[in-house]
Structure 1
Amino acid sequence: MPQGYAFQRSTADLFSIASAALTDNMSFRSYSMQTSAMPSGNITINRSGYTPTHRAASTYGGAGGYGTRISSASYSGVRSSAAPGASFSSFQMSGGGDGAQPGAGQHEAGGADPRGHGEGGPDAHDHDRYRDVLEDLRKQVFDKTVENSRLVLQIDNARLAADDFRVKFESELAIRKSVEADIAGLRKVIDDTNMGRLNLESEVEAVTEELTFLRKNHDNEVQELRNQIAQSGVQVDVDAPKGQDMSQVMEDMRANYEKMATKNAEELKAWHESQISVVQVQVSQNTEALQGARTEHGDLQRQVQTLEIELISQKNLKSSLDDTLRDIEMRNNMEMEKYNNILLQVEAELTNLRNNIQHQTQEYEALLNIKVKLEAEIATYRSLLDGGDFRLQDALSMKDGK
């Protein structure tokens, strides 16, 4: 008898096998079986395409050299057909007659038990050649998982950075408002200082004019007194006792007036100098305060400009980060949708494969039952060919047993 059933996996089933191995570590087989009898018969089982197709098989038997025929039954599976090189064992059955005896002699010469291959089952297949492909697919899945994790981490980091920038922006905005309020207060102080300076300048001018007026009045009074003294040289002759010397009196009066004028001038000069020193001190203080306010105003203005530039840069950075975040989310959603579609497709294929394998198992059990019956008929035919004792009642009971 030939070598039994041979099972070979099609290379086109690689994707389905890899997907099934990644999900539940299951592997499936695609096989074909062909049997030949007299005249000839075959049973073929293939897998191809997405929609399984079936052709029913019928069995009929006969005697007297007509043999037993099993009509062909084909099956198409989920994704691909069996490899062109897949081969299956065939066996021949001979009925009663002289022309079938050479075939029977070959069976007897071979000394093979027809139940041997049915009991032994299919040969184990070597899966080592798919190990590299499966490892490559597992590596790709692991790389995609790592990439997705990295993208999720980048998205979280970008979101945290955006939150930090938002908090920083709010704090900088509060600082800016506070600085603007301080600047407004300083401007008010500067305006008040300018008004005070103008008032002090007006007072200084008024005091200067008053001092000039007092000096002029003093000079006029002195000049008038001198003129009066110069014109007082009038001689009067009277008959009177000798009195006081008028010249001496005038000299005394002039000395007194000069002393009073000198004293008034000194007092006025001291008062004027004291007023000028006070005004100069106030002007110096106001000038220093104004200079400090101007310096602080310049510093604050530079800080405001720096903060505005930083705010613009932070806004641009935030906008770019938002665009990057949207792009990453869009790409991630597209990749996740693609992976979900692939997963749904693989799950559908896995379901179809399970259904097909269950159906194939049922057909395989049916074929095994047919094989047992065929082996019984072969044994009957062999006993007939060998000239053994065969009764009609046994043949009828055997036919009824079918």
Structure 2
Amino acid sequence: RYQMEHSLYQLVEADICGLRRALDDLTLAKCDLEAQVESLKEELLCLKKNHEQEVHTLTCQLGDRLLIELDTEPTVDLSRVLEEMRCQYETMVETNRHDVEQWFQAQSEGISLQAMSCSEELQCCQSEILELRRTVNALEVELQAQHHLKDCLQNSLCEAEARFGTELAQMQCLISTVEEQLAEIRADLERQNQEYQVLLDVKARLEGEITYRNLLESEDFKLPCNPCTTPASSTPCPAPAACTPCPPCPSRPLQASRGPCSSPQR
């Protein structure tokens, strides 16, 4: 908008310069016409003087000749002829003067009208120039305000970028710390899982061993008190070389150690 108004301002300035040149040309033409009118007036006065001198000379000459010829024959009324000639010249001069005055008045009116129109256009152009100057000043103020706003926004943007950069760095550090903690927790979970698996295996083995011992103990309860004797004969059978008699069954505790007799069953 500023460029458009500036170009319009330059065009108006060019038009004003052209109008001023036209006004100067019209002023020069008016001066030339006035000089021509003055010269025509002077020429008219000179023609009148020359005419009067010629008339006076002719009058003098014809008057002498008239005095000479009066005695011979009647002559033409030279005074009447001269009067008619003088009237004709005066009529021609008056007509020329009237035409010149009319032409001068027409030219003067045209020049005055042109000058008035030029002055009106000049006033309009001056008012437009003032309006354009006010518009340019307002645009310059608005441009400065926009520049100030731009600087403020750039400063705010730089501060926000710096603040967000710092916060982003802190978040990156926090994320790195959390990732390290997660890695440690994952490693601890894996280690605990391995330990849990080991404990499960140990538990399974212990449960199997407990079950096996319970089965053995139940089998021990089912055995007779003296396994070396039989109901058919009352004579004891010869004991093996490495076998010793077992203690009485009622007096043996529940989880006592097995005797040598139980080793073959195992």
Q: Name the TM-score class by shorter chain.
A: 0.5 to 0.7
Residue 125 of structure 2 corresponds to residue 290 of structure 1: no
Residue 98 of structure 2 corresponds to residue 266 of structure 1: yes
Match for residue 313 of structure 1 among 131, 145, 168: 145
Alignment of structure 1 residues 115-194 onto 2, 5 Å = 175-194=1-20
Residue in 2 aligned with 1:220? Answer: 46
Partner deviation per Cα, 1:174-195 (whole Å, 9 max, x = no partner): x333333333333332222222
Residue in 1 aligned with 2:68? Answer: 237
Residue 23 of structure 2 corresponds to residue 197 of structure 1: yes
Deviation at 1:204, TM superposition (A): 0.9
Q: 1:209 to 1:244 in 2, by over 3 A?
A: same
Residue in 1 aligned with 2:170? Answer: 338
Deviation at 1:353, TM superposition (A): 3.1
Deviation at 1:364, TM superposition (A): 11
Q: Match of 1:243, SS? A: coil
Question: What is the alpha-carbon distance in structure 1 between the residues aligned to residue 4 and residue 82 of structure 2?
Answer: 77
Q: Match of 1:244, SS? A: coil
Q: Match of 2:16, SS? A: helix
TM-score (norm 2): 0.65
Partner deviation per Cα, 1:24-71 (whole Å, 9 max, x = no partner): xxxxxxxxxxxxxxxxxxxxxxxxxxxxxxxxxxxxxxxxxxxxxxxx
Deviation at 1:354, TM superposition (A): 4.2
Letter in 1 for 2:17: D
RMSD between superposed Cα atoms in Å: 3.2
Letter in 1 for 2:74: K
> Runs of 5+ in structure 2 lacking a partner?
211-250
Question: What is the alpha-carbon distance in structure 1 between the residues aligned to residue 174 and residue 252 of structure 2?
Answer: 64
Q: 1:347 to 1:241 in 2, by over 3 A?
A: same
Residue in 2 aligned with 1:159? Answer: none
Letter in 2 for 1:300: L
Deviation at 1:359, TM superposition (A): 4.2
Letter in 1 for 2:154: D
Deviation at 1:256, TM superposition (A): 1.8
Deviation at 1:304, TM superposition (A): 2.6
Residue in 1 aligned with 2:35? Answer: 209
Match for residue 107 of structure 2 among 268, 275, 293: 275
> Runs of 5+ in structure 1 lacking a partner?
1-174, 377-386, 398-402
Deviation at 1:291, TM superposition (A): 2.7
Residue in 2 aligned with 1:325? Answer: 157
Which one scores higher on RCO, CA 8 angstroms, separation ≥ 6?
Answer: 2
Letter in 2 for 1:205: C
Q: Match of 1:393, SS? A: coil
Question: What is the alpha-carbon distance in structure 1 between the residues aligned to residue 256 and residue 35 of structure 2?
Answer: 165
Deviation at 1:388, TM superposition (A): 6.2
Deviation at 1:266, TM superposition (A): 0.7
Letter in 1 for 2:157: L
Question: What is the alpha-carbon distance in structure 1 between the residues aligned to residue 256 and residue 81 of structure 2?
Answer: 198
Deviation at 1:351, TM superposition (A): 3.3
Question: What is the alpha-carbon distance in structure 2 between the residues aligned to residue 190 and residue 388 of structure 1?
Answer: 140
1 or 2, which has the higher helix percentage?
2
TM-score (norm 1): 0.45
Partner deviation per Cα, 1:11-31 (whole Å, 9 max, x = no partner): xxxxxxxxxxxxxxxxxxxxx
Question: What is the alpha-carbon distance in structure 2 between the residues aligned to residue 252 and residue 301 of structure 1?
Answer: 71
Question: What is the alpha-carbon distance in structure 2 between the residues aligned to residue 327 and residue 333 of structure 1?
Answer: 10
Question: What is the alpha-carbon distance in structure 2 between the residues aligned to residue 316 and residue 351 of structure 1?
Answer: 51
Indicate the structure (1 or 2) with the bigger Cα radius of gyration.
2
The count of aligned residue pairs is 207
Residue 258 of structure 2 corresponds to residue 393 of structure 1: yes
Letter in 2 for 1:313: A
Sequence identity percentage: 21
Residue in 1 aligned with 2:85? Answer: 253
Letter in 2 for 1:326: C
